[in-house]
Amino acid sequence: QQQVKQSPQSLIVQKGGISIINCAYENTAFDYFPWYQQFPGKGPALLIAIRPDVSEKKEGRFTISFNKSAKQFSLHIMDSQPGDSATYFCAASRADSWGKFQFGAGTQVVVTP
């Protein structure tokens, strides 16, 4: 049973455009929502994370929007660059089992020059 559903599966965006990836979850006990970036042949690396007590968090060109009532959160990549081409995973975990993440299936983002 997939506890975190991610969409779209893949995304093509032009350089300078905005990439938007969405995730939805069911378990209301989740209280930590990270986004990971993974390049081919590498392990996932933390990009940005949010707790449900805030609705938005921004770090550079990356923004998480969080909607607790809808149990949804999204990643926005502003001014997308070719170096952002990677697979992005959303994840969620509970406070009593931090690090035991439920990952989404991933979104492959391709930024064209």
Partner 1 sequence: GAGVSQTPSNKVTEKGKYVELRCDPISGHTALYWYRQSLGQGPEFLIYFQGTGAADDSGLPNDRFFAVRPEGSVSTLKIQRTERGDSAVYLCASSARTGGFSGELFFGEGSRLTVL
13 binds partner 1 (CB under 8 A): no
- β partners of residue 33: 50
Write down how long the chain is.
Answer: 113
62 binds partner 1 (CB under 8 A): no
CA distance 48 to 75: 9
Q: Of 58-66, 68-76, 77-85, 99-107, which part binds partner 1 (CB under 8 A)?
A: 99-107
Burial 41-75 (b: 16+ CB within 10 A, else e): eeebeebbebebeeeebeeeebbbbbeeeebebbb
Q: Of 14-22, 61-69, 77-85, 100-108, which part binds partner 1 (CB under 8 A)?
A: 100-108
Applying CB under 8 A, the site for partner 1 has a residue count of: 26
Q: Of 14-22, 64-72, 76-84, 103-111, which part binds partner 1 (CB under 8 A)?
A: 103-111
Which DSSP category does 18 fall into? -
Which member of 46, 56, 78, 81 binds partner 1 (CB under 8 A)? 46
Which DSSP category does 30 fall into? E
Q: Which residues bind partner 1 (CB under 8 A)?
A: 4, 6, 32, 34, 36, 41-46, 49, 51, 89, 91, 95, 97-106
